[in-house]
Structure 1
Amino acid sequence: MNVLEYKNYRKSLTALRRRGGRFQKAAEKAIVYQDDLKDERLRKKLPVTNHGENRIDKAVKYDLGGNGCRLVTVQDNGRIFLCFAGAHDDVDKWLDKNRGLTIRVDEGNRVIPSFESKDYTNPEERLQRDAGYTDKPLVSLLQQRHQDAIMKGLAWSLAKAIGEATVEVSDDEIQQLVDRIEDLVQQTAVFDALMLLREENIDGATNRIRAFTGELCKLGDQEQSLPYLEDSEYFQNVDVSSEHYQKLIENFARNADYKDWMLFMRPAQQRFVDADYAGPAKVTGVSGSGKTAVVVRRAIALTERYPDQQVLVLTLNRSLAVLIEELVNTAALEEVRDRIEVLPFFMLCQRFLYQFEPDNTRLYDDVTWKSREHIDAIWREYYRCELHNYDARALQKVHDSLISRGIDAESYIREEFDWIRSATAPGNRDAYLSMERTGRTYPLDANFRQDLLRGLESWERKMTFVGVTDYLGIANALYHHIDKIEPRYRCVLVDESQDFGTIDFQLIRRLVAEDSNDVFLCGDAAQKVSSKHHSLSDAGLAVAGSRSHKLVLNYRNSRQILELAHGMLMDNLFNEMLQIHDFEILDPEYANFGGPTPLFLSAASLGDELAAAVTYAKSEAEENSAAKICIAICGFSEHELEAFAQNQRLPLLNGETDLKGHQVIVSDLENTKGFEFHCMIIVNCADGVVPNPRAPVEEAFRDLSRLYVAMTRARHQLVLSCCGAPSPFLEGQLKHLSQYLWEEYIGQEQDLAPLEPPKRLEQLRHDTPPRDILSMTGEEYLYQEDAIGCPALLVEKLRKLVTGKSRIVQGTPAEWRSISAALKDTRSKPRCRQLFGPEGYRVFREWFDN
């Protein structure tokens, strides 16, 4: 006998148990009943509710005690379907929402739910559905062949009227339309399809039409009894009598929370969980396609397949590693769970280095043990030649070239260091001198590259001296010991693999012996945000075509959110993205639900934006205690957001904060990867912020990916916000957004006090007002943001003439201590202007007069 679970059954069981007291006992009783249901003799002894149920065909409700708690099943043709467990009122609501549920099967024996009215003319026996959010004609949501099937044989005028129906059409108006159809069976099918389309349940409407056309059959309609029902994305077979299942369902009921939806496997995902591969395998998938769920389920399956052996799950993002570990703890039994390690790659490298270099344990962190200073601050200190360390002057020619082109050299060179270290082994850095810099667009000649290698060497010395390292530094440090790394895992699975570098993959290759099912990669090129060199073949992880697969159905986002995010991505595709090795943009298929139109809200200042966003997020949390809301702030790093989050008494998504018990969360864009939120609020989506105007235009695709990642974290509601002009990435999609002022939308009776925006790195380092740029030397000034875009001629003159020394030759100043001193003398002493030259002087005056 088949026993199958409906896709939200476990979620209902968890919700019932969490109410505690008699409800918890009722949930535990439901778990016991599951086993008894499979045995006909025991099933007959279970207490059925006194009142029958006519809202769902062949439904049987069992009394769980607890003052009206119920277990709802459908029993048909010797099969039992576990549908819902809950308190009396919750069960009643579920039955109303699922009125007309009819179990059918397709040609592959997969179980498919169809929702069918018993009598569409009777409000008590017809489908009842709430209106959705789409502004399109309902029938247009269907594929053409299903439109043709439902309209077959109708008069042109009637087909036109049905084709023009929208969500605004009432139940009675739909009834009046379909009353004009002559065939009763078609009348009911059209009514049901329109009702389902009105709530944007396209799959439901499609299934109803397939039932009408005969593609889906009832269980008792087959000529012979079906030997076995196959899993579908709606129902899964379970062995309720097995000890494994009993433990699993109890563990799920205790531990599952807002992440539980991620653990329901669809057939398209399950085949990658169960697959047997001869070597490294890769699954690429669109955002929201369940890649992380596949990684979690496959890790559990492999641990069960290889008893007494360890399985490793890796990701870069610390927050995502915490989430994956929680998912493993929810879905796996204890004896399996103990053999699955989930680690961020940084921590894995730390562990090995603690073993290989026990005297350097304090070195391998991203916060220096000497001063607790963050590595971002250490980098700035090094790069700007502070504290009398002038090693970074080797980078000045590259720096000057970059800023004269309007590029933030400090950030670009740090990213270039990441690229070098991800592409070349520590002992083979000279290969960089002639390599094609895939994904990097600013041309660097051999002299510049040589300077960069010298600068990188001194930066690595600096990190060692102060007792700190960054992500690429720790991977390169471990690479020195690569020959000491021996396989210690049976299988390694990598989530968000698109952001790993070639050197990372070489280290991963050493963790596991070459064997079947050794390495499994999941990723999405559209979500690539790092600047690292990425080549699987160079790392010894070439994936054969037969072991490379795709997931294209998005399960997470409402149709409106995904249309917006994917539309923005396609509007702004860069040729540089398409030329990157292993890069492929997948065209997503939409999830089967709609939601509110994404919002675009504006305010007078960033402080006003933040105040409104925090207020709105907290109000959403009060209205829905189960909702998780994320406020992602563009243009700031995780480090810069720490103090802001603390001041607002909100957790920061950084891999170290326990998010349990918190509904409203703060994050930068990048750390949202891998998560999903009921509501996503993205603040500061402004022109001049996204994309970064101080990065090469050809490399803006990384900012595009970051914004796309954050947008696709929203499951139900997406809010984009800015002060001033919106990001140019959004220009082509503004017509798809509902636009308001923040103050209009949240409807506050009194003005909200603006919040102080997050502090920038320089404020965090010194916590003092910025220096007057005119008091600086030329070298000091050229490290400031204001210097980005400074003409090359002026850059040269500032370095040569404004040196911090006051030098006079034959009574005429030849060098100056500060910019202000040079301005004063060149204005009053014509001979001083000759040092700048006519064009240089003109640029000098115009640049600083502005």
Structure 2
Amino acid sequence: MANLVLQNDKSMPKIDGSIKDKVCEFFDKLRADDTAPGLHIEPLRGAVDARIRTGRVDLNYRAVMFRVDDRFGEPTYIYLGTWKHDVANRIAENATLRVNPINGVLEGIVSLLDGRPNKPDVPRQFGRSGAQPVIGYLANAGYTLYELTERLGLGVGLAAEVLDAPDQDALFAVAQSIDLAWQQNAILELAVGRSIDDIRELLGFAEPQAALDDNEQILTALAHPASRMQFTFVDDNDELRRVIEGGDFSAWRTFLHPSQRRFVEQDHRGTFRLSGGAGTGKTIVALHRARHLARRDPDARIVLTTFNKTLAQGLRDSLLALDPAITLAEKPGERGIYVTGIDRLAAACLRTATDPGHAFRTVFGDDTPPRRGQTVGPEVGWAEAISSAEHNLDLRLAQPAFLTTEYVNVVLGNLVSTQAEYLKVPRAGRGVRLGRSQRIAVWQLITQFRRLGRMADRLNFPEVLALAAVDLRQRAESTGEYIADHVIVDEAQDLHATHWTLLRALAAEGPNDLFIAEDSHQRIYGQPVVLSRLGINIRGGRSGKLTHNYRTTAQNLHFAVNILEGTNYHDLEDGEESTVGYTSARWGPDPSLVRCESPLDELQAIADQLTTWITQDGISPGDIAVLARGARDRDVTVRSLRERGVPAEVLDDSIPEAGQVPVLTMHRSKGLEFRCVVLAGIDKEHVPSRPSVHNVPAEEREEAERRERSLLYVAASRARDQLVVTWSGQVSELLAESSGPRSRSTER
């Protein structure tokens, strides 16, 4: 039986739809018996590389492949693509396969692809004038031709071109023109100042083993982390068919960056935290991690969870796209992968509570009987409690937002059930200091809030989380058993204290117990937490970071990251979080900043832009989105677009209809991406949101402003290709700070 390897080359043409089934049939037969006469697997006389083969897909099309035999004669075919007969032969004549002698990475080099010659390995001139030499950006930083060729493995011509680039933008442009994945990534890392040693370690470089012959070196190099960005074994026909029919050989489910693969496959002695900016692939790693653990132990009980049910459904759908044969558990505690939002996870755990009475007494006090009523949001009931209770709490603190956060993070997070306990409990991380009298006043309101909850037979989501966590701990203490072996958490930056107490109670502390994916720059809900204060230890090197953006163009990434400038962010261990080193290999137009004279003029500008994308550029309405700060502005925008003949609909919890432009709030856009995005209403009146910033105590205003900045960053980073920002009146202070030289403004 022959082995099959696919090559991911960004310049490889997609397979013609009329022959996809024939290509799949060809490879089914090839993997079963490559000597079958109908395949016509033939060498090409006069080819540069003797390993090249072509095979008959039908009378008009041929597949181009390299054949590499191991020492036992078992063949491995490395597939380059399928073309019409004459083109396939021209490509095959000059294609070569080699192992880079410096770094051990496998390189498939096609000198003629679809009639287009590859860029030769000669340096490009970057606008030099006269005879005076220009010292390039990297050369000026101390990098040398020797380092780039003899330590990284770049060809002399490409290395000279890289050194000749006058600035960072020119380096990004060089990277964009490169077909070999490892070269592109190495140049991007050089552009952000990464050292040669760090790049070698990041990409897993190692010299090939001289004792092996050429074929053995090639087969060994296929396992190289950097080779696996471009080459991957396909070990079942279903996977092959999905890749071919999908028409995307750079699909995330097949090819991973070495840093991503390392985080997927590494074993950890305990909890591990993976951070990274928007679009760097944290969710992809989490999905592959879940599949990796499930494949390694089919009996493992794995929980894959995230902030809300909408994001969880996206995880479930993506997991099935990654592996349709994956075993999904129907409830926590079953073998397989249980995918759900974390609040639903808590509810599912509480439904199976072994001793609910103990949980209720622990959370609410000794005289509290169990109840199972309506589950509500965390702020429901506070307004009534404030208005009905006798208290002397400062009016600036007698607000639902402050009391909700205090109740969740301090009271429920520490299982405080009495006033005496509340007077003593540390309030680390809370911006507002409370004296004894103020604490007593807060407790009076908490007591009233809980009494009203009992009377209405309701629990809020954080209370359910706390109850479920207590019951799980009780079960583990009495039986030594936990309901999960591994827990994987996505979008972890938005979780609060009771979320973390539940997560910690799901699995025993030990190897590969919790895997946490988060980006503190995207925290748009709640207050920051420090995991070590909640019994979760990730210190001692158990953390990693992704910096390479796969979604957003370099121009859009620059714009989004600039929104964060001037503000300090901290991660889940209270360490300073930075955007240094974030890169993108994708190139596109600068974001357009469109200043309008009035709100009506702005609505017309949005309609005009959407019409241009749809009618002139041929972009599907579903690949476009309009993001607004709040629900009211979202609804006004939808009505306006419909009045102007643009097909648009509100995207809330429902799935958007085909042929409609989704219009949604910035909060709802979390976890989504679109080809083109309009950020609407980015003016001083709407962004930052005045109620969100001013309806909190002065001590917490800085954190509220930080959340608003993060929200705009999240919204701006949803755009893959084109970003347009509109406003009328005075521009938002957040946008004014971020609109660097790569953005342009248009008056209307």
Which TM-score bucket, shorter chain as reference?
Answer: 0.7 to 0.9
Question: Match for residue 468 of structure 2?
Answer: 478
**Paired residue for 1:290, among 281, 284, 287?**
281
How far apart are residue 282 of structure 1 and its match? Answer: 1.9
Aligned residue for 1:493, secondary structure, equals strand
Which residue in the other structure is 1:805 paired with?
none
Q: What SS does the aligned partner of 2:530 have?
A: coil
Match of 1:838 in 2: none
SS in 1 for 2:724: strand
Which residue in 1 is equivalent to 2:594?
Answer: 601
Does the Cα contact within 8 Å between 2:231 and 2:255 map onto a contact in 1? no
Superimposed CA distance per residue, residues 212-271 of structure 1 (whole angstroms, 9 cap, x where no aligned partner): xxx99999999942151134456455444x4xx323334556689999436531111111
- Residue 341 of structure 2 corresponds to which residue in structure 1? 344
Structure 2: how far apart are the matches of 1:472 and 1:10?
Answer: 50
Do structure 1's residue 731 and structure 2's residue 736 form an aligned pair?
yes
Amino acid paired to 1:677: F
Residues 391 and 615 of structure 1, relative CA distance in 2, 3 Å threshold = same
Q: Kindly provide the CA deviation profile for residues 567-587 of structure 1, in whole angstroms up to 9, marking residues without a partner as x.
A: 221x2214x758972553342
Paired residues, number: 662
3-state SS of paired residue (1:587): coil
> Which residue does 1:281 correspond to in 2?
272
1:669 & 1:394 partners in 2: Cα distance? 38
RMSD: 5.2
Once residues 433 and 183 of structure 2 are traced to their aligned partners in structure 1, the CA distance between those partners, rounded to angstroms, is: 55
- Kindly state the Cα deviation for residue 643 of structure 1 after the two structures are TM-superposed: 9.2
Secondary structure class of the residue paired with 1:300? helix
Say yes or no: does 1:398 pair with 2:394: yes
Alignment of 1:404-803 (within 5 A): 409-421=399-411, 423-427=413-417, 433=423, 437-463=427-453, 465-466=455-456, 470-479=460-469, 481-484=471-474, 487-532=482-527, 534-569=529-564, 571-574=565-568, 577=570, 581-582=574-575, 584-606=577-599, 608-610=601-603, 612-613=605-606, 616-617=609-610, 619-621=612-614, 623-625=618-620, 628-636=623-631, 650=648, 654=652, 656-659=653-656, 661=658, 664-694=661-691, 695=693, 696=698, 697-699=701-703, 700-741=705-746
- Bigger drift between 75-84 and 308-317 goes to 75-84
Aligned to 2:7: 6
CA deviations 1:171-206 (Å, max 9, x no partner) are xxxxxxxxxxxxxx9779868998996575166599
The aligned residue for residue 267 of structure 1 is 258
Matched-pair contact (CA < 8 Å) for 2:563–2:712: no
- CA distance in structure 1 between the partners assigned to 2:635 and 2:460 by the alignment: 17
Letter in 2 for 1:207: Q
Conserved 8 A contact 2:416-2:422: no
Deviation at 1:720, TM superposition (A): 2.2
Contact 2:408 2:498 in 1 (8 A): no
Contact 1:601 1:719 in 2 (8 A): yes
Native 8 Å contact 2:625 2:663 kept in 1:
yes
Give 1:29 deviation, angstroms.
Answer: 2.2
For residue 228 of structure 1, what is the aligned residue in structure 2? 220
- Deviation, 1:294, is 0.9
**Which structure's CA Rg is the greater one?**
1
Give the letter aligned to residue 32 of structure 1: D
Q: Compared with structure 1, are the counterparts of its residues 126 and 525 closer, same or farther at alpha carbon in structure 2 (3 Å cutoff)?
A: closer
Letter of the 2:702 counterpart: E
111, 127, 148: which is aligned to 2:119?
127
Which segments of 5 or more consecutive residues in structure 2 lack a partner in the other structure?
A: 71-75, 149-154, 188-199, 330-335, 358-369, 477-481
Taking a change above 3 Å as real, the CA distance of residues 204 and 249 of structure 1, as seen in their structure-2 partners, is: closer
Q: Which residue of 1 aligns with 2:176?
A: 201
Equivalent position to 2:145, from 136, 142, 149: 149
Amino acid at match of 1:127: K
How far residue 335 of structure 1 moved from its aligned partner, in angstroms, is 4.8
CA shift at 1:507, angstroms?
A: 1.4
Distance of aligned partners of 1:626 and 1:218 in 2 relative to their CA distance in 1, 3 Å threshold? farther
Instruction: Compute the displacement of 1:76 (Å).
Output: 7.2
Give the C-alpha shift of residue 605 in structure 1: 4.2
Distance in structure 2 (CA, Å) of the matches to 1:210 and 1:550: 17
- The equivalent of 1:29 in structure 2 is 25
Q: 1:485 to 1:12 in 2, by over 3 A?
A: farther
State how far apart, in whole Å, the 1-side matches of 2:64 and 2:660 are.
31
Shift of residue 675, structure 1, vs aligned partner:
2.8
Secondary structure of the corresponding residue to residue 481 of structure 1: helix
% identical equivalent positions = 19
Mapped partners of 1:203, 1:649: distance in 2 = 39
- State which drifts further: 215-224 or 726-735: 215-224
The answer as to whether partners of 1:68 and 1:87 remain within 8 angstroms in 2 is yes
1:613 Cα offset (Å): 3.3
Tell whether the 8 Å contact from 1:425 to 1:479 is kept in structure 2 after alignment.
Answer: no
Does residue 249 of the first structure (1) align with residue 240 of the second (2)? yes
Query: What do residues 679-702 of structure 1 show as CA deviations (whole Å, max 9, x unaligned)?
Result: 232222222332234524422111
Residue type of the alignment partner of 1:620: W
Q: CA deviation at 1:329?
A: 0.2
Preserved contact between residue 30 and residue 39 of structure 2 (Cα < 8 Å): no
The CA distance in 1 between the partners of 2:110 and 2:738, in whole Å, is 35
| Residue pair 1:103, 1:112 contacting (<8 A) in 2 also | yes
Q: Deviations over 1:112-169 (max 9, x none)?
A: 4668799xxxx9746399xxxx9999996767689753999xxxxxxxxxxxxxxxxx
- Aligned residues of 1:418 and 1:532 also touching (Cα < 8 A): no
Shift in alpha-carbon separation, 1:197–1:390, aligned structure 2, 3 A: closer
Structure 2 distance, partners of 1:347, 1:499, is: 16
Q: 3-state DSSP class of the match of 1:530?
A: coil
Q: Distance in 2 between matches of 1:24 and 1:652?
A: 36
2:269 and 2:512 in contact (8 A); partners too = yes
Give secondary structure in 1 for the equivalent of 2:278.
Answer: coil
> For the Cα contact (< 8 Å) 1:6–1:82, is it kept in 2?
yes
Question: What is the aligned partner in structure 2 of residue 309 from structure 1?
Answer: 300
Q: Distance in 2 between matches of 1:400 and 1:209?
A: 51
- Give the unaligned 5+ runs of structure 1: 153-184, 367-374, 403-408, 744-850
Shift of 1:436: 5.7
TM-score, normalised to structure 1's length?
0.65
Mapped to 2, the partners of 1:505 and 1:462 lie a distance apart of 26
Q: Distance in 1 between matches of 2:599 and 2:112?
A: 52
Q: Indicate how the Cα distance of structure 1 residues 363 and 471 shifts in structure 2: closer, same or farther if over 3 A, else same.
A: same
Give the alignment's TM-score, normalised by structure 2. 0.72
Q: Which moved more, 1:609-618 or 1:523-532?
A: 609-618
The CA distance in 1 between the partners of 2:741 and 2:405, in whole Å, is 35
The worse-fitting range, judged by mean Cα deviation, of 222-231 and 585-594 is: 222-231
Tell me the equivalent position of 2:151. none
SS in 1 for 2:668: helix
Specify the alignment match of 1:844 in structure 2: none
